[in-house]
Amino acid sequence: MVVTRFAPSPTGYLHIGGLRTALLSYLWARRNGGKFLLRIEDTDFSRNDEAAARAIVEAFKWVGLEHDGTIEYQSSRLAIYQEYAQKLLDSGKAYKCYMSKEELEALREEQTARKERPKYDNRYRDFSGIAPEGREAVIRIKAPLEGSITVHDGVKGDVVFNVADILDDFIIARADGTPTYNFVVAVDDALMGVTDVIRGDDHLSNTPKQIVVYEALGFRVPRFFHVPMIHNHEGKKLSKRDGATDVMAYKTLGYTPEALLNFLVRLGWSHGDQEIFSMKEMLELFDPSDINRSASVYNVEKLDWLNSHYIKNMSNDKLCELLEFHGVILVSHDKREILLDALKERSKTLVEMANQINEILVRPTGFDEAALKKGYKEESKGILQTFARALKNGGELHLPSDYHHVMEQVVAQLEIGFGKIGQPLRIALMGKLSGPGLDTVMAIIGVDETLARIDALLAHQ
């Protein structure tokens, strides 16, 4: 059975690079009928943020990535790590090192002066004497002294690391007893039965150390898939300015979970020329072996395009539900179907849609001066007054076609083009020269509000 995991550190928000890794891990597990686990790596107590841990869980709920079992917190597993560190000590595969910080810093300075790679010199590797008085010990694992370690990677192929270039006897437990990252990751993945590790390729350099731990403890080494990073258009690491922000910020900005997941799965993975992927299709088609080896480029225009697609094809019930987060309540609005159908084609985000809804439902408090200069002429007052009288005498008006018929009557009566009535009427209704169809706007706000807005413009002029 395929078992994957997502294991963030709660030292900050969950950004989209992390969410992409989680999504790919989720898809691969679900496609194979396996398990997808969530583990919070919170052993670095000095940097942990409880709010960040909660935010990670909140982001998972928002996008609908359901993990199996309970969330594992490394901070509650310290006894397990101590047990396995002791096993390595007892088997002679790890040892206590009494080197002080000052000694280690002095060693590194000497090595740097000789233009050597700074590393621990293994001075306590075979130490059998009496522990120096007053010295606290760290625990170091015995790493290979020569040869190479090969990472069999499903994305990059075999990656060979020369031991002399990357390894020393690295610390697996600090002097206070807390374990280190590379040690606990290997122990946890093994004990949790993780078979496939999908993560960013910024972790690739950690993998040889983790393989050392796996092999020292007799654990099976999982399959690795190191995913290239997301870059901006300049080929640099994604920054907050580019979009590497809190996943929940995308909710605030008006993006849908479906669009965000679709966008992320396409960053570095493809299936022919297809761009739109439902979750069902992702689950049927995704294979981490098909991930591109080169970095992907963040493109907000693509995200906007995808988001507009999902908004356009979303049910109005679902739209109403999502719009409530943005302060728009339409559940009981009698013209909500007309309103939403009119704006679906015009909105890239839910925020845009919410703003446009408010522009329609809320009477303008002023009128754009440039619009007045362009669209309100000497004859506009008389045209609007004639149209207002026609509305009052128009009988039952409900649908956009009803209002359009009244406009046609006025145009024919006054022998003018539609622009002569359209521009000043739009200014009256919207306060500017842009917006949905006039007949649609009037059908949404009704006769009385239409007349009130016309009166407001006439009073203004």
Please check the confidence at residue 243 and state whether its pLDDT lies above 70: no
pTM of the model: 0.91
Amino acid at 456: A
What residues form the annotated binding site for ATP? Answer: 240
Domains of the chain are 3-68+183-229 (3.40.50.620), 78-173 (3.90.800.10), 363-460 (1.10.10.350)
- Of the two residues 403 and 13, the one the predictor is more confident about is 403
User: Residue 452 CB: number of other CB atoms within 10 A?
Assistant: 13
Q: Say what the pLDDT of residue 147 is.
A: 96
Q: Say what the pLDDT of residue 238 is.
A: 76
Please check the confidence at residue 48 and state whether its pLDDT lies above 90: no
How would you class 128 by CB atoms within 10 Å of its CB: exposed for 0-12, middle for 13-18, buried for 19 or more? exposed
Residue-wise burial string across 287-304, b where 16 or more C-beta atoms lie within 10 A, e elsewhere: ebeebeeebbbbeeebbb
Q: What is the pLDDT of residues 256-265, one digit of tens each?
A: 999 999 999 9
Please check the confidence at residue 138 and state whether its pLDDT lies above 90: yes
Q: Which long-range contacts (CB under 8 A, 24 or more apart) does 428-432 make?
A: 428/384, 428/453, 428/454, 428/456, 428/457, 429/364, 429/453, 430/359, 430/360, 430/364, 431/359, 431/364, 431/365, 431/366, 431/367, 431/368, 431/371, 432/364, 432/367, 432/368, 432/371
In contact, 64 and 31? CB cutoff 8 Å = no
Q: Which ranges of 224-286 does DSSP label H, i.e. alpha helix?
A: 247-252, 257-265, 279-285
In contact, 453 and 444? CB cutoff 8 Å = no
Backbone angles phi, psi at 213, to 5 degrees: -65, -45
Work out the mean pLDDT of the chain and round it to a whole number.
Answer: 93
Residues in the chain: 461
Please check the confidence at residue 244 and state whether its pLDDT lies above 70: no
Backbone angles phi, psi at 246, to 5 degrees: -55, 130
Amino acid at 451: L
Instruction: Compute the half-sphere exposure of residue 220: CA atoms within 13 Å on the CB side of its CA.
Output: 9
Q: What is the pLDDT of residues 106-121, one digit of tens each?
A: 999 998 999 989 999 9
Please check the confidence at residue 368 and state whether its pLDDT lies above 90: yes
Catalytic residues: 240
Please check the confidence at residue 448 and state whether its pLDDT lies above 70: yes
3-state secondary structure of 225: strand
What residues form the annotated binding site? Answer: 240
CA distance to 24, 32, 286, 288, per residue, from 283 (Å): 10, 9, 6, 12
Q: How much of the chain, in percent, has pLDDT values that exceed 70? A: 98
- The pLDDT-based confidence of 240 (bands split at 50, 70, 90) is low
3-state secondary structure of 352: helix
DSSP code of 76? G
Strands 157-162 and 148-153: antiparallel
For the CA atoms of 169, 171, 173, 174, the dihedral, rounded to the nearest 10 degrees, stands at: 130
